[in-house]
Structure 1
Amino acid sequence: MTLRATDTFRPGLARRAARVAALVLLAASLGACSSLNIFGSKDDTPPDEPADRLYNEGLFLLNNKKDLKKAVTKFEEVDRQHPYSEWARKSLIMTAYAQYQAGNYDECVTSAKRYISLHPGSPDAAYAQYLIAASYFDEIPDITRDQDRTEKALAALDEVIRKYPTSEYAVSAKQKVEVARDQLAGKEMQIGRYYLEKKDFTGAINRFKVVVTQYQTTRQVEEALMRLTEAYMALGISGEAQTAAAVLGHNFPDSPWYKHAYERVKGAGLEPSENKGSWISRAFKKVGLG
């Protein structure tokens, strides 16, 4: 608003003109300050980039194995700059995948769990759960070490199968379940053999019993039955020893472990003979193997 010489001077008009001039000056100063911080230095914060550009850049780095760490950074930037966009949802699952590919399993689990928490009904929730399971599975240690990671893998794999039975990931999860179960059975066998060597036959039997009752679909069960034959014979409990040998021969007649069990019983002048009331016999009938 400009005052002309022909205008009649009025105090109210002058005050309004002064206010307008002040607002113009304020706007100009704010514009100048947008590139300065309070100390007068330049603000280096980059402007937001388009979500689709960040996402595609991350995808390029991931697909070409250029730099998985940079790919993760691109996907995380989508979430930071555009948190409520569809691109943010897509970027979060890709963050988990890129971390898995980089071998950063703990970070993958964290990102995948966050995805499931934020988007439980998404079609990619099944894949997020599978990434959690695969991360634990890929770090299963050898049987001489603690099997906490194996147990976590088994629980996460079971979750895939239970929650997403018709998904494409359920088949792979079932295959991994068998490997994980065999690993846990192998740990029980290792401890059982240790007790057997120390002549702690009761302790050994308890470990082999876990394999027979909980992991009898694994490859470890044949040796477990033979070791039960051996331990029961050492304790003089011939009936259970004969039953273990008989169940082994009935279910795995071509197993080399049956040959050892048969010879152990035969060496005491006995024959493999199944006692239907034995826990060994009942355990196998429970799953239809007996």
Structure 2
Amino acid sequence: MRLLSFARPDLSSSRDQARRKRAAGLLAVRLAGLVLVGASLGGCASMFDTDKEEKIYPDVPAEQRYNEGLTLMEKEDYGEAIRRFEDVDRQHPYSELARKSILMIAYINYNQGNYDECIAAARRYLALHPGSEDAAYAQYLMASSFYDQIPDVSRDQARTQRAIDALDDVVRKYPDSEYAVSAKKKLEVARDQIAGKEMLVGRYYLEQRNYAGAINRFKVVVTRYQTTRHVEEALYRLTEAYMALGVISEAQTSAAVLGYNFPESSWYKDAFKLVQSRGVDPKLNEESWIAKAFKGVGLG
């Protein structure tokens, strides 16, 4: 059985802009359940013209404040919309509209690229309403906020790992939700990014002839990230490192596993030539950790 591989993620700023455009579709879906309620806003227009910093809102019905927030969203006055939703949450903390307001705050912040604020609102929502019908959406917004901040592969990948953890929660806790499919796709991209970082460090160790350090990095890719596009190269680099150390049996095994799973790969062709340069062929040692890592996946 062949392993799966995935295309390299595009982590440029244009990707974030595209995602935000797609996120507009999410807003339409959510607003279908967050419609205007109560009476019209008649007489309240003057409230929008006063100084934003000096405003002190009186205690008014939750429906009125919530409707004001939605109206301001339509006008793309997102800062004032957030203030209205915060007012609903503050003045009517136990109402259904307070629950919806927290979710709207999370969404607006995500759509505006205010990821930390989105994460904070989504976490608060999940803490207060873990069993609600929109909990999956809150979790997805939080996960997407981490995902959209995935850095270049050369940088620290702490945010990538947080994205993986949050996306995994979407898939694990809400497998039947409308967000699970998208979360799975993003999860694979994030995992590919982590594997890419391991490969970058592993190749550096190889160049420094720190073969033990290199092997440890490639081992992470082979054991934890077998479905990423990096696994082929990782197996070749293991062949390379073990050959340099003179551990021929492990080199033969990594080449054999590579050939079994990716017989047409250019990495396998290079691995085959490398082991043959020592007068041997790729050969599986079933007691090798490499062979055991692929039990039930590509070998058996």
Shorter-chain TM range is 0.7 to 0.9
Report the secondary structure of 2:179's partner residue: helix
Aligned-partner residue type, residue 98 of structure 2: A
Q: Distance in 2 between matches of 1:133 and 1:249?
A: 37
How far residue 63 of structure 1 moved from its aligned partner, in angstroms, is 4.4
Q: 1:6-17 counterparts in 2 under 5 A?
A: none
* 1:276–1:63 Cα change, 3 Å: farther
Taking structure 1 as reference, are residues 248 and 116 closer, same or farther at Cα in structure 2, changes over 3 Å only?
Answer: same
Shift of 1:46: 4.3
Matching of residue 289 in structure 1 with residue 298 in structure 2: yes
Distance 2:290 2:57 in 1: 70
Structure 1 unaligned segments of length 5 or more: list them.
1-43
Structure 2: segments with no counterpart, 5+ residues: 1-54
Q: Tell me the number of residue pairs that the alignment of Structure 1 and Structure 2 aligns.
A: 246
State the structure with bigger RCO (CA 8 A, min sep 6), 1 or 2.
Answer: 2
Partner secondary structure for residue 168 of structure 1:
coil
Alignment of 1:142-153 (within 5 A): 142-153=152-163
Question: Any idea what SS the aligned residue of 1:149 has?
Answer: helix
Pair 1:250 & 2:264 matched: no
TM-score (norm 2): 0.78
Query: Mapping of 1:52-131 within 5 angstroms?
Result: 52-63=63-74, 66-131=76-141
Whether contact under 8 Å (2:260, 2:298) holds in the other structure is no
CA-atom RMSD in angstroms? 1.7
Greater Rg over alpha carbons, structure: 1
Q: Distance in 1 between matches of 2:81 and 2:264?
A: 53
Give the TM-score, by structure 1 length: 0.81
How high is the sequence identity, in percent, across the aligned residues?
64
CA distance in 1, matches of 2:117, 2:58: 28
Question: CA 1:68–1:211 in 2, change beyond 3 Å: closer, same or farther?
Answer: same
- Which stretches of structure 1, 4 residues or more, deviate above 6 A after TM superposition? none
1:199 aligns with 2:209: yes
The separation in 2 between residues aligned to 1:46 and 1:196, in whole angstroms, is: 63
Q: Are the structure 2 counterparts of residues 208 and 46 from structure 1 closer, same or farther at C-alpha, using a change threshold of 3 Å? A: closer
On the 8 A contact 2:102/2:125 being kept in 1, the answer is yes
Alignment of 1:171-186 (within 5 A): 171-186=181-196
Distance 1:102 1:49 in 2: 28
1:147-189 deviation line (CA, Å, top 9, x unaligned): 1111111111111112111111111111111111111111111
